[in-house]
Each structure stands twice: as structure tokens, then as C-alpha cells.
Structure 1
Amino acid sequence: MMNERVERRVAVIMATDIVGYSRLMEADETSTLDAVKRLQASILSPNIAARGGRIVKLMGDGSLVVFSSAVDAVDCAISLQEELASDQKDVALDDRILLRIGINLADVVIEGGDLFGDGVNVAARLEASAEPGGICVADIVHRQLGAKCRSDFRDGGEVALKNIARPVHVWHWRDAPMAGPSTSSPAARMSIAVLPFENLSGAPDQDFFSDGITEDIIGGLARFRSLSVIAASSSFSFRGKEAGLKEIGKRLSATYLVEGSVRRSGERIRITARLIEAASGAHLWSEHYDRSVTDIFAVQDEVTRMIVSTTVGQIESANVRQALRKPTTSLAAYEFYLRGLVHMRSYGPDDNEQARLMFEAAIERDPQFALAHAYLALARLALRGYANAPADILDAALALARKAVRLDEGDSGCERLLGLIHYFRRDFELAERHYRRAYQLNPNDANTLVQMGGLLTRRGRLDEAMRWIDEGLRLNPFPPQWYSVTLGNTLYILGRYEEAAAALKEQPNPGQFTCARLVACYAQSGNAAATEEAKARLLKLCPDFSTDDFINRGLLLERPEQRELFRQGLLKAGLPE
């Protein structure tokens, strides 16, 4: 031992770890070990060797690798993640092997072939901070990269790493191939529902303001991966109902409830918030804030911070700064934006036009308001038929949605709406990429989950699609109407016609495309009476209905066999080609 050489030098350390290794081993030890050995031999070792790396330790659930170049280490990490994602794409979600990778550059001690020092510990903590399928690098590594490679990473700010004295500035790989909602167990996260804050201002037309504050608090909480946050539309379904808090908690599957009120009088505003344990009704925390309306965003931040610290304790510090982001500092822009959202979620004949006007007014007052740009893109498409809008309208909407993401790269809503615009343009691969980024930024946004599920259905990945949709419905058990269409479409393609019809019937006033889906469901399930009734309703809405027109304009399906399945159902019902 005394003759072993001890060397100290600057090195680049890469730490890798398999996500959920214990769960995989418990489920099927033999298959997991075989898969890990195969991937180590076919992907890990060749990529490391090709870039001059040396494996210091190779464990069952990870590795420690040393490089002499930060560029080589990052190039190796990206290659590993991309090849692994490709290798695992046909494996069931719960059985996939995913890596987290952390990279640091530091002075280390090399003794007997092993590595020691704080720099090694930091690399391990960076790995733990990475997303499943992702890469987290220290700022000192990021600065060694070329401009093109640097742009592949988004700024994660300074974070406190466990057992590391000083905060570390980190960067996250933008294209982390997130596996989706099944990579973490919802049961392991605390669930919380924020009930609509009561408007005590005495003016019903100010409901939108208290609702907007409620939704912003929900949005702030939803960015913390330690919490499972119930979607706003489900929480809002209990407005004005007599159900007790215990019953609301049970129906929303929420451990904790937040309720409160907003009173606005002239230039002053009072916000009251209470955190309640749903099962017992115990008040865990309450506070009120008397402020000028110009301080409204600071109040919302403070409410969110207090709720989080009370329910979770030590929250993932890497996400705190991002979770408390505010969309604008202009109260006037914020009010127009909230009014636009109300119109976007309504179904009146003039609502889409009113939404457009509100979002344009918000941008006029704050040209840097990212979400207002994103929703304006959607409102303009809604006015012209969404996916059936003229090419120039689709192009303009895409440019506007891209601008929204440039204005705020950390906002999941902007990424989701950009994904939706790509979906309407039938750019399904780009749509999936942006939905995954939106999910990475906010895994609790039920809209992202369900829209991603609908996209995966159209791409033929039905089992994966149902996982996303199921998780979205879990977070939003009282969803908006379009969720039922997404679910019904997926169930139909799966051949579960009666379930599909039940989902589609959730829409109280279905349009022609939903009615057409119902006709196909009933025809395929052999329910002649229901088929004729649904067909009569469809032809009343659209006397010149054409199966070909519906297939080409109403479905946005990528796979020909799916289009044929709908064609068979409609023709079986006796509808014209």
C-alpha cells in the first residue's frame, strides 16, 4: 500500500447513475442485470473510450469516469443519452433504463486508480440534480465549451448541493429525452389543491382577478417536483359548492388544501391564505397581506413560498428561483392577460375574438410578456380554424409562439403552446420535443400531459399515450371538455369503442368532429340505435358531411391504419364518403 502512487491533478469527472435502479431490480433482477451489462458493453464503454475517458468505477447502478477535456466529457454524455434513448424507445416505460449524468471540473487526488476530493463529490451531486435522461454540468465545465455546445444547455442558476458548503452554478442539457410521467411515483409526492380564492371586493366582474391570483399560486407550486399539484380546473369545480373540506380533499385526492380570499379596494389589496390538512381539517398555517396593488406579484411570491416551506420543508432549492417567476411586472398587462384567458376557456361565438383583443392589449402594455404572446398565437389560430387555418396564419402563429419562448425560456406554458402550434402544423416530431421540454419545466401541468398523450396517440405509441393521459386526469379529475375528446380518440384507436363513446359523451355540446367520432364508436361497437341517433345529430350539424373531409381535416393522424379505422367506422354507419 505504501508504494502506491498518489497523484494530484485537474480533471473532468463524469458521474452517472441509473434512475430507479432499486425498483427495476425488485421488479426483475435477472433482466435488469442483463440489460445493464449489455448497455455498459455496447454504449457506455465504447463512447467513453472513443473520447479518451477512463472508467474509474463501474457499479451496477452507475459509473465514475475521468476525462482530460470538458468538451470530450460533455460530447460523451450527450452521445450516451441519445444512444440510450434510441435503444430504449421500444421498451415499456416502467422497464426503461434511464441515466442521470453530472459533470464537474476540479482538482482531484488519484490514488491506486481511484479518485478522491471535493470535486468528485460535486460531480455526484450534479448527477443527482440532473433530470432522468438529462445532464447537469457545473458552470466551470460550461465555460469550457464552444458556443454551439453551450447553447445546448439552459441556465439552472446557483443551487445548494447536499453536503457541499458553497452554492454551485449549474447548467442543464436542453434536449433531455424525458421519459414521462411514469418515471416518478405520484404516491411519493405530497398532493395539494389550491381552491379558488374568494372575491370579497363586492364586484363580480373582479372574479377574474382573484382567479388569476389562485392560478398563479398553483403555477408556482406546480414547478416543485416534490409536490403533486391538482390542476386549476378541478380545484375550481368546487366553487360555491357545499362540500366540506374533508370531502373536497377526498374527491381531489389531495393531502393538503389551500383556501383564501382577495379584497381589492382602490389602490389597496388584502390577500388572506390558509393551509389546511384535508383529512383532519386542521389549519397548519394562515396569513394575510395588506399591500398596494403594485406589490401584487411580491405578495403572490410570498404566499407560494410560505405554503411550500410549510408543506415540504426543504424544497429542491434548484427550482426555487424558477418557481417564483412572475409573467409580467405590469398590473394592467396582467389584467388584460387574465381576461383573455377567461375568453379562451369559454365557448361563446365572440370569445376567441375577445381573447385576441385582450392578449394584444396585454402585449401593448408589456411587450416582454411571454405568455401573452403565446396565447395570442393560439387565439389567432382559434379564429381561423386551428389546424385548418391558412398557411400564412399558421406561419405567423409559429413565429409568435417562438418569440414567446425566446422571451421566457423557463416558462412551461410557452413551451407547451409552441408544441401545440407545431401539432396544428402537423410537425409532430417538433411538437413532441416541445411538450417534453414543457414537462421537464413543469411535471404537474395536466394540460401538457394530456396534450402529449393525444400527440403520442397520433404517432402510434398508444400504451405510452394512455400513461400520459391517465396522469393528466389524475392531476385534473374535473377537466375541461377537450380532455374527453383526447381520451375518446385514444380509446377508439385502441379498439375500446364503448369506453371511447362514454368519454366523448362527456362533452355537453359536441361539435361536428366529436359527433363524427361518436358515430364511429357506436357503429364499431354494434349499437345500431345509438349509431342512428348520433348520425342524425351529426347530419343536423353538418348536412354535407363527408367522411374524406373528416379524415383529412378533423383527425390530424400520422398513421394510415388509424385513418382507415375511422373510415371503416363512419362508412359502417352509412355516412357518405
Structure 2
Amino acid sequence: MPGQTSASAVVDLSGKPGGESPPARRRVHGVALGPDGAGLGAVRHFGPFSVDTAKFELHRNGRRVPLEPLTFDLLLLLMENRDRTVSRDEIFRTLWGGRAVSETALSSQVKALRQALGDSGSAQHTIRTVHGRGFRFLQEVTGGGASTPAAPAAPHPEPGLMRPVIAVLPFENRSTDNSGGFFADGITEDILNCLSKHRWMNVVARNPAFAFRKSGEGVDAIARQLGATHVVTGSVRKSADRMRISAEAIEVRSMRAIWADRFDLDMTRLFDFQDELCGLIASRLAVEVGGFEQRRAQRTPRENRGAWELYHLGMSEFYRFTAPSNRRARDFLRMAIRTDPEFAEPYTRLAYAITLGMVYFEDPASQARLDDALTLALQGLERDDRDPQGYFALGRVRLARREYDLAIDALEHALDLNPYLAVSHCGLGDSLAYEGRIAESIQHFERAIELSPHDPFRWAFHSYMSLALLFGEDFKAAVRVARRAVQVPNAHYSAQANLLAALGHLGDKRQISQVRESLARVRPDFSLALARSRLFYLRRSGQLDLYLEGLKRAGVR
């Protein structure tokens, strides 16, 4: 019957039906065997397991683990090629002799092997799914006698393989007619495409995800077969002239919803807003998944931390926006680089952290630090020249170096790569403000806030916008926006300084007194000299004078 081929214990490597008599099993993962299995003639070990390649037996702590012949052959194939990813095509050729079998057959064998090894589609500590390619055996293997010597195990998991894997399942059409079905599929595909622009996560391709449209299996089972760490589901409901789109993201291991939202659209303008809607969903989901990865890294035991975990530990410290946390962030990011020198993201984020150390914290601005930051940013982009976050970081480094045109170029390119990346809109808005292009600047800040209202950088979205409004001499608006910035829990004290400068121009003594006292509690030594030193990158002397004048009127000396 369809779908039962995968579990068959009576299919040997030639693809012919029959029993498991030794003469029928001449080859295992490309190695010729004698009638008694001679040829490998050794026991291999990994973790608590041993594999007897002569007897075709798997043991755990000395006790036999039952395995069907095909499942055992899959184990040997992956073990023997553990230095690389074994493609699906190669597995089909080797295990089924090129016979036409379904993807479900392979999925069932992988699932059975993982269960025998105490692994799972979400844990993947022994067998890793490499999406779009195949599978990789992760454990160190010792012993083997005549077998191929075991390759040295990496001290940490490979960062590329530790990235979150997002599967977007077909959205459900809950309309009373079938017309919503085409739109539901379009929404699903567009969300998938927008998510793929976030280079730090992997996204399951359309066809594998859509294959489960009518499977009837639960989200956890589908996720295991797709190797997904997170699953996005949703629905479309049409009523009269309105369309409601609901979406939810589930973290597979805990089966907990980490994000959910719904959107109501006017049917007459549906297609005008479809791209916009999918970009919003992808942008907000990416922020939630990033936060989840940071929390997961914090829970990971120290001995199990690889470059991916070290990177996210660095980012969790980075977003605290204090001088000590900035130093810890740099330490973690350097550790990530040492662990995996080809991992691109830590380079560019370290470059930005060094830059913020000069702008916000205790590091004096120096050419040497600015050169280090630029070198790191370029090294990261050499490793991944399509990372929009990398170009965002480069743009911020260029600005600190007073290379204004290059800063704008880098940030515009970041938005070419991902027009829904909120921090790039914020960075471009900030750079445009220093060029005196205030109206354009405000549009980008508003876009950043719209795209990611819960972003860990959101205090900066508001704070930089207040500074742009101050430069445009709209002091009331600058006060209003700066107040939003200071209410964000991780806001840097510069947000209060911006608020105080705007209030100084308005001359509101009562509010000035309150804000000045609040600023003194978090930064008792705040002064005009400190403010001037931290705004070393400003291009226009008139903007700096306007800012300092506001602080003077507010009583700062």
C-alpha cells in the first residue's frame, strides 16, 4: 500500500523483495561484505552506542537496540560519511538501489533511526537535517579497525546547522467559498519569501511544506519530518468586503506559541497591501525568533555552547545597552569568531558593538577603534555579502567614521536586500537627519516603528527620531517622541538627554526639572562636554550647537 514501503524489513540494498539472509547483503553504504559480514570486521562507538558491523547490531550501553535492516543500513551510510552531508539522492540510490520510492519512505527511516538513538527532529543531536540537501551524522565515532578512520569531531556544533529552521505551512482558507484559497496560498508563499531575506534563519522551501496541506498530521509531526524548529500557521477568512488574516508562530520543542497576530484588510485594496502585510509578518516574526534564540542560548550549558550560542549570548548582552553589557557582548562575539572563523554575523555585530562603545559608553573615540570596526564589518561581509544586517552594521560604522555618503550607500543596500528590516530604516533615517534631510529621515523612523513595534532597538527608533525632529526645530514633536523612547525598559540614557535638550528649547521648567533629576540618577556626570564628546560624528556644527544650546537652557553645564 502507498506509504508502507518505508517500514519494510524485507527490502535489501538491491531493492528486491526477500529476507535478510547474509548472502543477499553484499554491500552496505558502498563497502563490499563477505557472507558473514567480513570486510568491516570491527565495532564502532559513538556516545553510549556501539555498532557491530559484522553482526549488523546496534547496542546501547551493552544492550541490543532492535533495528530493521534498512534502518541499520541508513545508520552505517551516515556514519561512514560523517565528514559531509549525505544527499537524499545518494541515500535513495544506496538504500533502494535507485527504485522509485516516496519521500515518506526516507522520512520514516530517518524517524525510526532517530528514535533508536534517542534523537528527534527537534533535538537533532545525532542526525541533522540539512534542508534542501540531505542528512549529516554529528557524533564522533571511534574504533573501526579496517574501517575508514574517524574524522576528528568539531568541539562545538556547526553554527550553520544550529540556525532556527522556519516552516511556513499553507494557510487555511476559512471563507465560505473557494476564492480565498488562491489568496491563502499567495500569502503563504509571500511570507516564506520575506522570511528568507533574514539571512540568519533557514526557511523550508515551498514544496516540502505544501506537501503537508492535507496530511492530517499534527504540527509537531510535520515539523519533525521537515526538520523545523518553528512552524508558522495561519488562516484567511473573507466576509463581505473585508479579509481577515491570522498568523501564529509555534516553537516546536515546547509547542508554545511565541507570536500571534491578525490583520484586517479592505478587499478592494487587497493586492495593494499583500506584499506589505507579508513583510510586516516576517519582520515581527523574525524579532520574536531572534529573542527566542537568545533565551535558548542563555539556557544552554556552558560545555554545549557553540558559535551560534555564543553569538546569541553576545546579542542578548548587546541589547541591554549598558557599558558592562557592551563589553560582555564583545567578549562573546569574539569567542564566536574564534570558535568558527567562517561564521559571518559575529564579525559585523562586533563591529557595531565597538562603534556603540564609542558613541554611547566609555570608550574614547579613536581612529584605531574606528579602523578595527571597519575591518571587522568588511570581514563579515566577505563571508556573507548578502546579509542585510551586515550592511546595516557597515553603514553605522561608516557614519561614525564621518563617511556620510558611504554610510547612506550601505544602508540603502541593506534595504535593497531586505526592505522590511526595521533597524536599517532607523539607521538610514539617522544618517539622513545629519545630512539635513529631515522629512525623509522621519519617514524612515516611522517605517521602522511600524515594522517592528516590539524591537529590542525600539527605544533607538524613537530616540533618533526625536533628535531629527530637534534638528528640524520641531521641539514639541521632539519631546513627544523622546518621551516614548525613555519609557522603553532598555533605553540608553541618551534618550533622556535628547528629551532634556528638546525641553530646554521649549522652556518648560517643571518638566525640565523632572527629566534632569531622572537623567542625574542614571548618569550623574552628564555634562555638555560629555554630550559633545559622544556626538563626535555629527557633520554639521549647527546641529551640534542647537543640541548643546537646548541642554544649556535646561541647566546642564
TM-score after normalising by structure 2: 0.46
Task: Kindly indicate which of the two structures has a greater share of residues assigned to strand.
Answer: 1
Larger Rg: 2
